[in-house]
Amino acid sequence: MSLLHSSFYRFTPLADPDALAAWLRERGAACGLGGVVLVAREGLSAAIAGEADAVRAFESELQASPGFAGLHFKHNVCERRPFSRFKVSVKREIVAFGVPGVSGQAAADTHVSPQRWRELLDEPDTVVLDNRNSFEFKLGRFRGAIDPGVAHFRDFPAYVEAQRDAWRGKTVAMYCTGGIRCEKTAAWMQAQGLKVAQLDGGILNYLEAFPADAAQDWQGECYVFDKRIAIDAAARETGTTAEAVFTAPEDAWRLARARRLDPET
């Protein structure tokens, strides 16, 4: 049995998130999938997994739905099912940024391909910024990356504002796991007067683009929000446990959440 993990998102206005959520639940169950899907008026964010044919059938149905034509899916093969159930939730935002009025509107000319990203890492006027929480950075990062030292995504804006003047005239090349956090921050950072480059599709897209030598640029492991916990530069499950990742007392709730993803442990 070939198991496939697929992650994707799209910022698109949804008039009836509840109706879309109901449809997603029905189709996910029919395809025998597991996963976590968030739906809000600003769009959709998801990570799903199952038998490869079933995942691709689900993706085709979603792409045929209004607002989701051409949706990009980031894939990697799994040795076991990453999710025990298929959960669809309706939220106020698909990713909470903490700055009123900021949505996932596309920023102008900020997306860069994995190939261009590799070049940016070697350019002297590049600031490589990790747009994730500090526990994720400690597990793995791109070479030369800066850890903003935040415990929550909503703390990220204050860090950027504190560094803004020092970064003027440089390219702030930022990345996150799948690209969605950078979508929230890119236009806002441009409004702060910064030159921004965001890795299109995030770390997962980079690993998929360079299956043979991603380790040239990616150091360590990438935290993934499912039962696998972490993958290496070849997108393979590493065996790292949630207990090894969440050692700080303030991360007890994250440890509890990770354990709920894998009730068999």
Read off the pLDDT of residues 164-217 as tens digits, 9 standing for 90 and up: 999 999 999 999 999 999 999 998 999 999 999 999 999 999 999 999 999 999
Cβ neighbours of residue 262 under 8 Å, at least 6 residues apart?
84, 227
Pick the catalytic residue: 31, 78, 176, 222?
A: 176
Chosen domain end from 90, 114, 144: 90
Which residues, in sequence order, are bridge partners of residue 224?
Answer: none
pLDDT of 67 > 90? The answer is yes
Active site includes 176?
A: yes
Domain harbouring 260, CATH code: 3.40.250.10
Same structural domain, 130 and 258: yes
**Residues 162 and 193 occupy one common structural domain:** yes
Q: What's the domain range around 251?
A: 96-265
pTM score: 0.94
Our count of domains for the chain comes to 2
Does 264 have pLDDT greater than 70? no
pLDDT of the residue at 12: 94
- For residues 120 and 197, is the Cβ–Cβ distance under 8 A? yes
Model pLDDT for residues 21-60, shown as the tens digit of each residue: 999 999 999 999 999 999 999 999 999 999 999 999 999 9
Cβ neighbours of residue 71 closer than 8 Å, sequence gap 6 or more: 8, 10, 59, 62, 63
Q: Are 181 and 165 in contact (CB under 8 A)?
A: no
Residue 1 has pLDDT above 80, yes or no: no
47 and 136 both lie in a single domain: no
**Residue 48 token pair:** 């799903």
Tens digits of residue pLDDT in 10-21: 999 999 999 999
Place of tokens 């739906």: 39
What average pLDDT score do residues 220-230 get? 97
Return the percentage of the chain with pLDDT > 70, whole number.
97
Question: Confidence class of residue 99 from pLDDT cuts 50, 70 and 90?
Answer: confident
Q: What is the dihedral of CA 70, 71, 75, 81, to 10 degrees?
A: -130
Looking at the fold, whether 74 and 112 belong to one and the same domain comes out as no
Helices in 168-236 by DSSP H: which ranges? Answer: 180-191, 202-209
Question: Is 20 found in the same domain as 137?
Answer: no
